[in-house]
């Protein structure tokens, strides 16, 4: 029915040799080197090799030994905090912002504890030593982890350093999870096979896409046949609780893993909380909130960032304005009515990148050319309406900079769904109107996930995911990814 041993060339580790432990050991080494370099470097930079200039009552040699001891204690405590907060656990590494958040949480609590201990025992630590070591260590540590994640992403794209997954559930759910996991190889889940209810294997949508290794009674044998190390239960209609428990008991501790995927999609991690009740792992899903302190913090950040951006980029804005004005006939700014927060209309600003009669030409182009990559949004890679200067501005998204004015006056946000045209809204299905629960943004998930290359359905999915799961931390991540996407110049036309 299947081969007794699956192909292990795509990253499966030999029995007893878990890639997770090897990767964690590498993180331990680099974390230690990074923190040692920062902590002792700050000590030397602050006090110098000669401590004669440091005010201290007693022997100067004791001072050097004291701060060296403090540096050693701080290094050991920081390494311990990274372990205690699970920053090297498989659930945290590779994707998402959880790894960085855990690193920051551990550092904040460590230095909070350091401040309390210093106060209680009246230890007079040099403030500069602490205030430099903490943020510098955190920044360099996060950068080190980011470098490792880039390497890990490349390895996973090649099929290495992944969990070999056997999907178990109904054909429809198996098909959905197989396609989603294969679409994101950087997540580290390589689908190698599936088990579906008896009699449905040949009728499965995954037939020819994911090998079917048997029915639900043959999961244990399928684990051996596919050389899988992880079972993902995609639906439990045909798997009673006792059967799931038996599956968990049959797995080899430490090497084989069980994952239960609930029927929830596009839900961010912070909204999900697991609460055991009467032996049942109940999953609590918080409803999204669009008001209160979170919204106030987002607005305050928008005002501060847009004001700073306009001040900092003023010379560039003037240069672009002159280039647009001298490059072709017409106004510097392109003003267009868009639909924003709560469905209210507003005037969005951009540097003009097209000829003056671009809107009149659109009717002809829409009839003669098929929109590239999107069924609702009109997109052309070689749009004849774009000016020479406009091509450059669009390539680097410089035409969007005047929208900082929209952010400052409150009609837009730095991060949010794309602001649509009124004619596009008329084609929306009812559920798509949820994107108006938050302000539209200059950038968003769709811009950093493919931009104009995305289909309409994928663009909507990403916008709605943002609406359901937005946070200030998530906004900062999207802004960082936006810079990378702009310089990569992918999907911008």
Q: What share of the chain is helix, strand, coil (3-state, %, to 5)?
A: 55, 10, 35
Q: What is the pLDDT of residue 281?
A: 74
Cβ atoms 444, 418 nearer than 8 A: yes
3-state secondary structure 323-390: HHHHHCCCCCEEEEEEECHHHCEEEEEEECCECCCHHHHHHHHHHHCCCCCCCCCCCCCCCCCECHHH
Task: Measure the CA–CA gap between 341 and 407, rounded to whole angstroms.
Answer: 12
Cβ atoms 450, 481 nearer than 8 A: no
Q: What is the pLDDT of residue 8?
A: 38
Cβ atoms 493, 451 nearer than 8 A: no
Rounded to an integer, the average pLDDT of 252-262 is 82
Rounded to an integer, the average pLDDT of 225-251 is 83
Task: Measure the CA–CA gap between 124 and 127, rounded to whole angstroms.
Answer: 9
Q: What is the pLDDT of residue 1?
A: 36
Task: Measure the CA–CA gap between 46 and 48, rounded to whole angstroms.
Answer: 6
Does the pLDDT of residue 4 top 60, yes or no? no
Q: What is the pLDDT of residue 26?
A: 92
Q: What is the pLDDT of residue 329?
A: 78
Does the pLDDT of residue 144 top 90, yes or no? yes
- What integer best gives the mean pLDDT of the chain? 79
- pLDDT classification of 205: cutoffs 50, 70, 90: low
Give tens-digit pLDDT for 456-489: 778 888 888 888 888 888 888 889 888 877 776 5
Task: Measure the CA–CA gap between 220 and 217, rounded to whole angstroms.
Answer: 8
Q: What is the pLDDT of residue 157?
A: 84
Does the pLDDT of residue 55 top 80, yes or no? no
**Poorest-pLDDT segment among 37-46, 152-161, 384-393:** 384-393
Q: What is the pLDDT of residue 253?
A: 79
Does the pLDDT of residue 129 top 50, yes or no? yes
* Bigger pLDDT: 303 vs 220: 303
Does the pLDDT of residue 451 top 70, yes or no? no
Indicate where the chain has its CATH 3.40.50.1980 domain(s): 163-263
Residue that has been written with the tokens 């359905």 in this structure: 457
| Domain 163-263: CATH superfamily, name plus number | Nitrogenase molybdenum iron protein domain (3.40.50.1980)
Residue 460 DSSP SS3: helix
Q: What is the pLDDT of residue 2?
A: 38
CB atoms within 10 A of CB 440: 25
Residues 6+ apart with CB under 8 A from 364: none
**E strands within 373-446?**
413-415, 441-443
Give tens-digit pLDDT for 409-423: 999 999 999 898 888
Q: What is the pLDDT of residue 363?
A: 58
């Amino acid at each position: 029915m299947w081969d007794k041993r699956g192909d292990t060339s795509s990253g499966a580790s030999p029995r007893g040799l878990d890639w997770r432990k090897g990767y964690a050991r590498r993180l331990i080494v680099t974390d230690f080197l990074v923190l040692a370099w920062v902590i002792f470097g700050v000590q030397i930079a602050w006090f110098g090799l000669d401590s004669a200039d440091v005010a201290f009552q007693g022997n100067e040699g004791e001072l050097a030994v004291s701060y060296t001891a403090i540096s050693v204690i701080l290094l050991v405590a920081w390494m311990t905090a990274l372990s205690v907060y699970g920053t090297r656990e498989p659930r945290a590494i590779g994707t998402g912002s959880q790894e960085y958040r855990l690193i920051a949480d551990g550092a904040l609590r460590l230095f909070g504890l350091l401040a309390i201990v210093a106060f209680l025992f009246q230890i007079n630590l040099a403030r500069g030593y602490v205030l430099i070591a903490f943020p510098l260590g955190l920044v360099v540590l996060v950068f080190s982890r980011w470098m490792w994640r880039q390497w890990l992403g490349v390895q996973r794209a090649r099929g290495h350093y992944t969990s070999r997954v056997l999907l178990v559930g109904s054909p429809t759910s198996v098909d959905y999870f197989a396609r989603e996991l294969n679409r994101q190889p950087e997540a580290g889940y390589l689908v190698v096979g599936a088990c579906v209810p008896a009699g449905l294997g040949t009728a499965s949508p995954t037939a020819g896409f994911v090998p079917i290794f048997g029915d639900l009674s043959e999961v244990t044998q399928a684990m051996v046949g596919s050389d899988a190390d992880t079972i993902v239960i995609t639906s439990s209609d045909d798997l009673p609780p006792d059967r799931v428990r038996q599956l968990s008991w049959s797995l080899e501790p430490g090497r084989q893993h069980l994952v239960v995927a609930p029927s929830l999609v596009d839900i961010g991690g912070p909204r999900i909380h697991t609460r055991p009740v009467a032996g049942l792992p109940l999953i609590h899903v918080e409803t999204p909130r669009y008001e209160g302190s979170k919204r106030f913090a987002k607005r305050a950040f928008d005002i501060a960032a847009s004001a700073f951006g306009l001040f900092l980029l003023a010379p560039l804005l003037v240069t672009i304005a002159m280039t647009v004005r001298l490059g072709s006939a017409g106004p510097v700014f392109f003003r267009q009515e868009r639909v924003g927060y709560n469905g209210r209309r507003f005037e969005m600003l951009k540097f003009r990148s097209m000829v003056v009669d671009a809107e009149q030409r659109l009717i002809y182009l829409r009839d003669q050319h098929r929109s590239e990559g999107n069924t609702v949004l009109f997109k052309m890679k070689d749009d004849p309406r774009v000016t020479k200067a406009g091509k450059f501005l669009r390539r680097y998204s410089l035409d969007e900079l005047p929208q900082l004015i929209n952010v400052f006056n409150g009609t837009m946000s730095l991060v949010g769904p794309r602001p649509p045209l009124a004619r596009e809204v008329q084609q929306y299905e009812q559920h798509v109107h949820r994107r108006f629960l938050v302000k539209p943004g200059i950038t968003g998930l769709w811009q950093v996930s493919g931009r104009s290359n995305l289909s309409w359905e994928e663009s909507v999915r990403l916008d709605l995911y943002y609406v359901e799961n937005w946070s200030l931390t998530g906004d900062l991540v999207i802004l960082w990814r936006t810079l990378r996407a702009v310089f990569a110049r992918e999907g911008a036309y």
